[in-house]
Amino acid sequence: MTDTQRTKRATIRDVARVAGVHPSTVSRALGRDGQTIALVNSDTRARILRIAEELNFRPDVAARTLKTGQSHTVGVLLPDLTNPLFPPIVRGLEDRFAEDGFVVLLGNTDDDALRGELVLEGLLSRGVDALVVATARRSGTQFLELSRQGMPIVLINRVFDDQLVPSVATDEVAGIRMAVQHVHALGHRKILHLAGPQDLSTGKNRYRGYLAEMSSLGMQVDDSMVCFANLYSSEEGKRCAEELLGRSHDRPTAIVAANDMLAIGCYQALDAIGLHCPADVAIVGFNDAPFSDLLSPPLTSIRFPHYQVGFQAAQLVLERIANPSAPIKVIFLPPELVIRGSTGLALSS
């Protein structure tokens, strides 16, 4: 008994004793408010609520979970919270979930299979009521299995090839098309693409979007007009931009990068050979990172409603918890073109 006495919170029984009623009456009085009109006399109900308040009573979620099988907790799997993409998404998730009294359990997987497995175990044994999955590289078979067993799962920014799963994603293709369209409207005709890693879905989608929009605009694309970065880094961006700029004799007038970091690499490459943006080459980034408007020139970029992605994903989760057999929804959120100095000039030619 040397155990340190933790805060003794009032239990449902303490309330019952003070109110002079049976514990189960208290339980009913506190049960989901708008439920049925009167499971309990409204006078005694009022008294119970008052006493509960006075005693600072809080239902024990663990006990409730054990009894009902609902933890009011949702697991969120993501590669790395430190990736600036995720904090707004998580905020959106939390805000929506909070409205319904749900809470988020975060798991960082680092895109590591072993760690992912461990984290998933941890979430599962905590009895999460649903899963939000934003990890990119995993095969997903385990999630399909869980889903089949009745666990509501919502995907973020990914889809399974072989099965329809509820998901919320940004419309990357639409985004890159807006970018290409934008510079095209400014008069640019030699529009190159600094593509991202093709083993990432983002890199692949944005590349496809570039091809699609160029084709829609009736413009030819050949291999010399695209360079593939192996990473989303400014160094890789610089390397690729230098390659693009050095390849052909007629210089590009615009480069659409698959990512803001790559766009920064373009800035550096232009700098290195004495060219200027936007006077010589217009640059468009992708993601609208927080620093995009701080660059010189400020970077035109494609902004995604990340907070909304989280919010909508939470919405989907709640819907599926409420009605597991509801039709599966796949939501694509449209991006927004943010025009800044890096595409500041209309071409005179």
Q: Does 6 bind DNA (CB under 7 A)?
A: no
Which of 290, 77, 303 lies closest to 172 in space, CA to CA?
A: 303
Residue 104: name its binding partner from DNA, a copy of itself, none (Cβ under 5 to 8 Å by kind).
a copy of itself
DSSP 296: S
How distant, in Å, are the alpha carbons of 85, 124, 156 from that of 330?
20, 24, 10
Binding footprint of a copy of itself on the chain (CB under 8 A): 4-7, 9, 58-63, 65-66, 69, 71, 73, 80-82, 84, 86-88, 90-91, 94-95, 98, 101, 103-106, 108, 118-119, 121-122, 124-127, 146, 149-151, 234, 264, 271, 289-291, 294-296, 324-325
Near DNA by CB under 7 A: residue from 2, 5, 7, 31: 31
Residue 22: name its binding partner from DNA, a copy of itself, none (Cβ under 5 to 8 Å by kind).
DNA
Asked whether the beta carbons of 48 and 21 are under 8 A apart, the reply is yes
Within a 13 Å sphere around the CA of 228, how many CA atoms are in the beta-carbon half?
12
Near DNA by CB under 7 A: residue from 7, 33, 67, 325: 67
Asked whether the beta carbons of 272 and 265 are under 8 A apart, the reply is no
CB of 40 to DNA, least distance (A): 3
Which of 158, 153, 27 lies closest to 85 in space, CA to CA?
A: 158
DSSP 328: P
Residue 24: name its binding partner from a copy of itself, DNA, none (Cβ under 5 to 8 Å by kind).
DNA
CB of 147 to DNA, least distance (A): 21
Q: Does 52 bind DNA (CB under 7 A)?
A: no
Asked whether the beta carbons of 226 and 210 are under 8 A apart, the reply is yes
H or E element in which residue 342 lies = none
Near DNA by CB under 7 A: residue from 2, 4, 5, 68: 68
Nearer to DNA, 35 or 296 (CB): 35
Nearer to DNA, 1 or 294 (CB): 1
Asked whether the beta carbons of 307 and 218 are under 8 A apart, the reply is no
Give the contacts of 316 (CB within 8 A, at least 6 positions apart): 154, 166, 167, 168, 329, 331
CB of 14 to DNA, least distance (A): 8
Residue 11: name its binding partner from DNA, a copy of itself, none (Cβ under 5 to 8 Å by kind).
DNA
Give the contacts of 243 (CB within 8 A, at least 6 positions apart): 227
CB of 306 to a copy of itself, least distance (A): 10
Which of 176, 200, 189, 183 lies closest to 257 in space, CA to CA?
A: 176
Nearer to DNA, 50 or 276 (CB): 50
CB of 67 to DNA, least distance (A): 4
Q: Does 25 bind DNA (CB under 7 A)?
A: yes
Structure token digits, residue 262: 């790559």
CB of 47 to DNA, least distance (A): 9
Structure token digits, residue 58: 């809080």
Asked whether the beta carbons of 169 and 156 are under 8 A apart, the reply is yes
Nearer to DNA, 37 or 294 (CB): 37
**Type of residue at 42:** S
CB of 34 to a copy of itself, least distance (A): 18
Give CA–CA dist 89/85, Å, rounded: 7
By CB under 7 A, the count of residues binding DNA is 29
Residue 109: name its binding partner from a copy of itself, DNA, none (Cβ under 5 to 8 Å by kind).
none
DSSP 299: P
Binding site for DNA (CB under 7 A): 11-13, 20-25, 27-28, 30-31, 38-42, 44-45, 57-60, 63-64, 66-68
